Structure 1
């Protein structure tokens, strides 16, 4: 079986030892009418802690490839992955299939499991008894450069 060869992942561990406190405006920014400057309130945030509910099971993974672009996951995006979450239908997961990592949406059908790309240029991967599959973790956030 051929996995999407252009889909490569690079793994990183979050650094929970040190703190990197970044200025954070907790009130949010208006996507409609501008809000008055008096609403401006600055605090700080540590993204390692904010993006991780389970620090010991959280990893950052850099994506290489375009098989998930219709899910908003593009080449060079960084995924936050939680290994403690249970795989479920329609969740986006980091999968280890036949010795290769890939990111795909889990689709459970009657008596069948598919790893679904989110790009029409890629074919779904039907998981059979001949495949060795490990659902390595569930994607919880996508970090991207605009």
Structure 2
């Protein structure tokens, strides 16, 4: 797993403060520009946030494609339904954490993969909760 530590610098970009529909075109919007601080948006807890590069297609139906960057926050207590980064039997994985009865299950978001049931014999540790995903749309 490739992990990058986000630095304390602030990154701001122009932000058009209007929503743009992804469906049918609408008349031209009033152009209102302000700045948005990406570091505050993506890293609300700087001391516990890191970035990983995701490899594989087990989470494509959760809009986490191969090659994207996932923002992970270790300070968030994981709960059922969260997408997490976990260490599982010595390997890292990104999956949806689900409580099923008395067991925890790691669910892929791709029908071609099977869920992983966490048992007492499983070496399992949550590394953090995925809070955002950055996708290069040109790939």
The aligned length equals 136
- Show structure 2 runs of 5+ residues with no match: none
Residues 36/120 of structure 1: CA separation in 2 closer, same or farther (3 Å cut)? closer
Instruction: Normalising by structure 1, report the TM-score.
Output: 0.84
2:52 aligns with 61
Q: Distance in 2 between matches of 1:71 and 1:130?
A: 28
User: Aligned-residue CA RMSD in angstroms?
Assistant: 1.6
1:91 aligns with 82
* Equivalent pair of 2:10/2:38 in contact (CA under 8 Å): no
1:126 aligns with 117
Q: Alpha-carbon deviation of 1:19? A: 2.8
Matched, 1:12 2:29: no
- Show structure 1 runs of 5+ residues with no match: 1-8
Q: Aligned with 2:26: secondary structure?
A: coil
2:107 aligned residue (116, 128, 131): 116
Greater mean alpha carbon deviation, residues 85-94 or residues 50-59: 50-59
1:107 aligns with 98
Q: Alpha-carbon deviation of 1:28? A: 3.0
